[in-house]
Amino acid sequence: MECTRIELMPAVHLTCVQTDKFKTGCLSINLLRQLNAKEASKNALIPRVLCRGCTQYPDMHSLSAVFNSLYDMSVTPYIRKKGETHCIGLYSDFPDSAYIPEKDILKRAVEMLCQLLIDPVTRRGLLLSEYVLSEREKLCDDIRSKLNDKREYAISRLLESMCADEAYGIGRLGTLEEAAKINAVSLTKYYRKILAESPIEIFYCGTQNIDTVSRYFISALSALPRVLDPSQLLSTEVITEVGDVRCFEDEMDIAQGKLVLGFRLGSIMRAPNHAAIMVFNTIYGSGVNSKLFLNVREKLSLCYYVGSVIEEQKGIMIVSSGIDVKKYDQAKDEILTQLDNCKKGEFSADELSMAKRTVISSICAMMDSSSGLENYYLGQITQGLNFSPEELQMMVQAVTKEQVVSVAESIQLDSIYFLHNVKEAGQ
Amino acid sequence: MKNIYTKIDEVVIEETLQNGLKIYFMPKEKHFKSYAFFAVRYGGCDRRFEVNGQWHDTYAGIAHFLEHKMFDTPEGNALTTLSANGASPNAFTSSEITAYYFQSTENFMTNLKTLLSFVSVPYFTDESVKKEQGIIGQEIQMIEDDPDHKVYLNLMSALYKERPVRESIAGTVDSISNISADDLYFCHNTFYCPSNMVLCVSGNQAMEDILFTADSILPKAPGYAIKRDYGGEEPSTPVQSKIEAYMEVSVPLFMMGAKIEPVNPGKLRQQLVAELALEMLLGESSELYAKLYEDGYINYSFYYGLETFPDGSFIAIGGESKDPMAVFQNIIESADNWKLTSDREILFEQIRKAAIGSRLRQLDFMEHLCYSRANGYFHKYDPFDAFDLIWDISLDEISEFIKTYFHFTRQAISIVWPDVKQGAV
């Protein structure tokens, strides 16, 4: 598996992973924006509107007919938050030409993706109002429907509260208030601006080589405007100091309480050891051999689920759990006790090596999936890093106990969020 | 036996052990991980059965309860053992099967040994069963909070008169409180027998090693012949045509559907006809989808498909909608006005290509290869036959399916409305 990255045009890069491992090829094209409250909803709306039609295939009916006849080629809007970089774009996958009669499939996929991105269907120079309004409505539905998944909802409420003064507190889809202000005129103007000035990251994974792929893109993107704004720098604010622990709560009619703790990774973020952070997270809270799972769930039965995730680019860790509301204090104390145990170095050489193997295994599994590779490389780029999955594995292998302890020692509790039943409130 | 599928560049090696266990291996030499899927034909619907001439009734949720408890071993917990050895294990219980699986990028054979032995050797105590009642009780509460589950379960009770699919696979807090260690031993002994199971493996391994491992670990006796009772004849129409509930959701959720008459053999063909018919009627390239989407009646959450359970299947269509009844009526009307036109011929051709493409995509996923192979084994078909069968299906078959199952007398709808009393947070 060979990965190459080249600049196709000013601030347009192509990352190409050439491999014959998959029967499905994939492409993505992403505009990178600095996340902010005013733009987030517009960013989230643009790829959805673009997916509604281009000049050649102006409606869903004609688009879907062409995708079907291209053997279920898919194009999906992708809206991701990588730290405080908002990555908005289109993702496509399609069968490799070896298995279908359509031999030009990659070229067709590149053309479709670029047409959708740079040549949307317009009327008098504007994106179609009916598309903008119906997609805006659906975006609002999606923002509202966060409520349906209580686990995710509790996490997003924690982030909104804990990072209220940081861009990271803004949801991936923006807010209802900002979305409501968007119309075809404002969105068209904004779309033209960001298309011209945003850095663009293109990714390909499949059997073809970078020369072929770049030739297709250079031709398909010949009409892409480029007016770069050098003042637009992508960065993520990392807070390393925390004050008193802040507590937030909401009431809702649910049987199971959701307890979410937000931490800052602290001073280690000045020179983060990526591999040690991954190993720490596995020992502490990710997976069935973690301290949280084995103690809080299995040994003490304090919760139905519990786990930690680390958003390294932002320097935060989230522990989320589903608990019986009566066990709030016990569950919270035990989650913190297990962190203290990591700080004290209370984990064995076996636990360390097991955690390393788990991390390495998850890296290998990621390399077995083209969408996994796509997401990995985009993350590398937004973090300004440049190591391959193979190198990351070696870094993980070299992690020492002291490095893991120093990650743990640096972590501090910032905020606690609790979502619980109306009737049984009282915490 | 080695089956080579040239057009799609896949190989499937199959063997049956002396004890009756079927084993499938699908090589993927270029992948780092390997994947094993060990399934037993025993799920949430297998509540009433006959062994050795005697009928038994068991509590709702017992198959799922058993799945949870199987991970207990005298040494501790198989999840821990597998994870400690670099595997990511998990399990699920559906209405018709219970499956245990893992993927690992190292020590695959050691992990396979662990998988086969913990699934075939039960170890329960009254104390551990008691403790699990607490854990599963929490899981059941979480499921009951889930509006997607509510809308599904309500549809089942609207469609079916007495099928066990009307009840949650996990059971209720009450039903699982009755389960004892002895009940679990009995159900394990009855169902977890080699002749009632299948092992599917995919990855960078060798069949000889898999066979050797399975042969050395698993019991020698094939097990019992089991008769299962899933309830009497079902009428072709639903029990009730509409069922509603109120929960804390932002947008109404709906699920509509119809019972499909069971066929045997011909299950794969029926599935493909259903899939193509749903695509023709409701897929993104249909007129109906465009209308519903553009009028804002449906959004990205819209889905449709055929679901199977033992002794039957149903089509389900659902998602979020501001006006579920409008969606319902539009679908019924569109099916009622269904005619064969030259546009439909073109659409059918495109949809068949798309169906091939979506199956090609699945070949990159070992999970899918193994799961569909196990399903095919239990329902007696080869999932790769679909690549040819798709071209054998006629538009007349599609039309007949639509006319039959989308007739308003066949369809029921379940809706979960936002509970206005609760208010927003």
Question: Do residues A99 and B9 lie in contact, with contact meaning Cβ atoms separated by under 8 Å?
Answer: yes
| Number of independent structural domains in chain B | 2
Set of chain B residues whose Cβ sits within 8 Å of the Cβ of A358: 83, 86
The reply to whether B297 and B398 lie within a common domain is: yes
Residue B135 at interface with chain A, using a CB cutoff of 8 Å: yes
Q: Give the Cα separation of B100 and B88 in Å (integer).
A: 11
Set of chain A residues whose Cβ sits within 8 Å of the Cβ of B89: 288
SS3 A138: helix
Share of chain A above pLDDT 90, in %: 87
H-type alpha helices, A268-420: 274-284, 291, 328-343, 349-367, 370-382, 389-397, 401-410
Name the token pair of B119. Answer: 């699934």
Q: Is residue A144 over pLDDT 50?
A: yes
Residue A322 at interface with chain B, using a CB cutoff of 8 Å: yes
CB spacing of A64 vs B284 below 8 angstroms? yes
Name the token pair of A332. Answer: 């919270």
Residue B368 at interface with chain A, using a CB cutoff of 8 Å: no
The reply to whether B167 and B280 lie within a common domain is: no
Which residues does B342 contact at the CB level (< 8 Å), separation at least 6? none
Residue A95 at interface with chain B, using a CB cutoff of 8 Å: yes
Break chain A into its structural domains and give their ranges: 2-220, 246-420
Question: Do residues A221 and A401 lie in contact, with contact meaning Cβ atoms separated by under 8 Å?
Answer: no
Residue A425 at interface with chain B, using a CB cutoff of 8 Å: no
> What band does A426 get if pLDDT is binned at 50, 70 and 90?
very low
Q: Is residue A94 over pLDDT 80?
A: yes
Amino acid identity, position A212:
T
Cβ-based neighbour number of residue B151 at 10 Å? 27
Residue B301 at interface with chain A, using a CB cutoff of 8 Å: yes
Question: Do residues B300 and B248 lie in contact, with contact meaning Cβ atoms separated by under 8 Å?
Answer: no
Q: pLDDT truncated to tens, each residue of chain B (425 aa)? A: 999 999 999 999 999 999 999 999 999 999 999 999 999 999 999 999 999 899 999 999 999 999 999 999 998 889 889 987 888 899 999 999 999 999 999 899 999 999 999 999 999 999 999 999 998 998 898 898 899 999 999 999 999 998 999 999 999 999 999 999 999 999 999 999 999 999 999 999 999 999 999 999 999 998 988 999 998 889 999 999 999 999 989 899 999 999 999 888 899 999 999 999 999 999 988 989 989 988 889 988 899 999 988 888 999 999 999 999 999 999 999 999 998 887 889 999 999 999 999 999 999 999 999 999 999 999 999 999 999 999 999 999 999 999 999 999 999 999 999 987 544 43
Set of chain B residues whose Cβ sits within 8 Å of the Cβ of A19: 30
Name the token pair of B210. Answer: 């898999």
Could you tell me how many residues make up chain B?
425
Q: Give the Cα separation of B310 and B299 in Å (integer).
A: 32
The reply to whether B59 and B170 lie within a common domain is: yes
Could you tell me how many residues make up chain A?
427
As a whole number, the mean pLDDT across chain B is 94
Q: Which H or E run contains A250? A: strand A246-251
Q: Give the Cα separation of A410 and A312 in Å (integer).
A: 13
Question: Do residues A45 and A254 lie in contact, with contact meaning Cβ atoms separated by under 8 Å?
Answer: no
Which of B290, B347, B357 is closest, CB to CB, to A95?
A: B357
The reply to whether B223 and B252 lie within a common domain is: no
Residue A2 at interface with chain B, using a CB cutoff of 8 Å: no
Residues of B280-302 as b/e, b for ≥16 C-beta within 10 angstroms?
bbbbbbbebbbebbbebbbbebb
pLDDT for the residue A427:
43
Question: Do residues B198 and B375 lie in contact, with contact meaning Cβ atoms separated by under 8 Å?
Answer: no
pLDDT for the residue A122:
97
Residue B31 at interface with chain A, using a CB cutoff of 8 Å: yes
Residue B354 at interface with chain A, using a CB cutoff of 8 Å: yes
Set of chain B residues whose Cβ sits within 8 Å of the Cβ of A350: 84
State how far residue A65 is from chain B, nearest Cα, in angstroms: 6
Which of B79, B142, B294 is closest, CB to CB, to A288?
A: B79
- At the top level of CATH, the class of A246-420 is alpha beta
Question: Do residues A27 and A210 lie in contact, with contact meaning Cβ atoms separated by under 8 Å?
Answer: no
**C-alpha angle B357/B359/B361, rounded to 5°?**
70
Residue B287 at interface with chain A, using a CB cutoff of 8 Å: yes
Set of chain A residues whose Cβ sits within 8 Å of the Cβ of B86: 357-358, 361
Determine the average pLDDT of the residues in A178-192. Answer: 97
Backbone angles phi, psi at A357, to 5 degrees: -65, -40
CB spacing of A358 vs B33 below 8 angstroms? no
User: Is residue B72 in a domain?
Assistant: yes
User: Is residue B280 in a domain?
Assistant: yes
Residue B382 at interface with chain A, using a CB cutoff of 8 Å: no
DSSP classification of residue B392? G
Q: Give the Cα separation of A360 and B107 in Å (integer).
A: 13
pLDDT for the residue B423:
43
* CATH H superfamily, domain A2-220: Metalloenzyme, LuxS/M16 peptidase-like (3.30.830.10)
Point out the residues of B that are catalytic: 67
The reply to whether B275 and B355 lie within a common domain is: yes
Which of A72, A98, A148 is closest, CB to CB, to B354?
A: A72
CA nearest to B131 within chain A: A301
- pLDDT tens-digit readout, A304-317: 899 999 999 999 99
CB spacing of B30 vs A130 below 8 angstroms? no
Cβ-based neighbour number of residue A90 at 10 Å? 21
CB spacing of A64 vs B283 below 8 angstroms? yes
Interface test with B, best of A49, A66, A71 (most B CBs within 10 A): A71
The reply to whether B24 and B115 lie within a common domain is: yes
pLDDT for the residue B417:
96
Q: Give the Cα separation of A73 and A92 in Å (integer).
A: 7
Amino acid identity, position A410:
S
Residue B90 at interface with chain A, using a CB cutoff of 8 Å: no
Q: Which of A66, A160, A91 is nearest to B425 (CA)?
A: A160
Set of chain A residues whose Cβ sits within 8 Å of the Cβ of B138: 256, 303-304, 322, 324
CB spacing of A361 vs B105 below 8 angstroms? yes
The reply to whether B190 and B338 lie within a common domain is: no
The reply to whether B250 and B225 lie within a common domain is: no
Q: Is residue A189 over pLDDT 90?
A: yes
Which residue bears the tokens 């569909």? B372
Q: Give the Cα separation of A347 and A331 in Å (integer).
A: 21
User: Is residue B424 in a domain?
Assistant: no
CB spacing of A358 vs B142 below 8 angstroms? no
Q: What is the CATH number of the domain that holds B24?
A: 3.30.830.10
CB spacing of B86 vs A370 below 8 angstroms? no
Which positions 360-379 of A are in contact with B (Cβ < 8 Å)? 360-362, 364-365, 367-370
pLDDT for the residue B250:
87
Q: Give the Cα separation of B335 and B408 in Å (integer).
A: 9
State how far residue B339 is from chain A, nearest Cα, in angstroms: 18
Which of A301, A304, A361 is closest, CB to CB, to B86?
A: A361
pLDDT for the residue A423:
63
The reply to whether B203 and B266 lie within a common domain is: no
Set of chain A residues whose Cβ sits within 8 Å of the Cβ of B84: 289, 350, 354
pLDDT for the residue B425:
38
The reply to whether B221 and B280 lie within a common domain is: no
Residues of A339-370 as b/e, b for ≥16 C-beta within 10 angstroms?
bebbbeeebeeebbebbbbbbbbbbbbbbbbb
CB spacing of A137 vs B33 below 8 angstroms? no
Interface test with B, best of A66, A161, A357 (most B CBs within 10 A): A357
SS3 A327: helix
Q: Which H or E run contains B2? A: strand B2-5
CB spacing of B251 vs A144 below 8 angstroms? yes
pLDDT for the residue B424:
41
CB spacing of B299 vs A142 below 8 angstroms? yes
Q: Give the Cα separation of A271 and B350 in Å (integer).
A: 54
Interface test with A, best of B9, B106, B250, B344 (most A CBs within 10 A): B250
The reply to whether B41 and B72 lie within a common domain is: yes
Which of B33, B86, B422 is closest, CB to CB, to A253?
A: B422
Question: Do residues B384 and B5 lie in contact, with contact meaning Cβ atoms separated by under 8 Å?
Answer: yes
The reply to whether B260 and B292 lie within a common domain is: yes
As a whole number, the mean pLDDT across chain A is 94
> What band does A424 get if pLDDT is binned at 50, 70 and 90?
low
State how far residue B223 is from chain A, nearest Cα, in angstroms: 33
Backbone angles phi, psi at A251, to 5 degrees: -110, 145
Residue A423 at interface with chain B, using a CB cutoff of 8 Å: no
CA dihedral B95, B96, B98, B99 (to 10 degrees): -110
State how far residue B350 is from chain A, nearest Cα, in angstroms: 5
Backbone angles phi, psi at A317, to 5 degrees: -125, 140
CA nearest to B81 within chain A: A289
SS (H, E, C) A382-412: HCCCCCCHHHHHHHHHCCCHHHHHHHHHHCE
Question: Do residues A268 and B262 lie in contact, with contact meaning Cβ atoms separated by under 8 Å?
Answer: no
Q: Give the Cα separation of B298 and B279 in Å (integer).
A: 16
Q: Give the Cα separation of B117 and B219 in Å (integer).
A: 9
CA nearest to A148 within chain B: B249
B310: left (phi over 0), alpha (psi -120 to 50) or beta: beta
Q: Is residue A288 over pLDDT 90?
A: no
Examine residue A101 and say whether the peptide bond preceding it is cis (omega within 30 degrees of 0).
no
CA nearest to B350 within chain A: A69
First to last CA, chain B: 60
User: Is residue B423 in a domain?
Assistant: no
Interface test with B, best of A136, A140, A148 (most B CBs within 10 A): A148
pLDDT for the residue B253:
96
CA nearest to A258 within chain B: B142
State how far residue A296 is from chain B, nearest Cα, in angstroms: 12
Which of B32, B135, B148 is closest, CB to CB, to A364?
A: B32
Q: Which domain holds residue B296?
A: 242-418
Name the token pair of A216. Answer: 């297709």
Residue A98 at interface with chain B, using a CB cutoff of 8 Å: yes
Question: Do residues B383 and B268 lie in contact, with contact meaning Cβ atoms separated by under 8 Å?
Answer: yes
Q: Is residue A256 over pLDDT 70?
A: yes
Set of chain A residues whose Cβ sits within 8 Å of the Cβ of B8: 23, 99
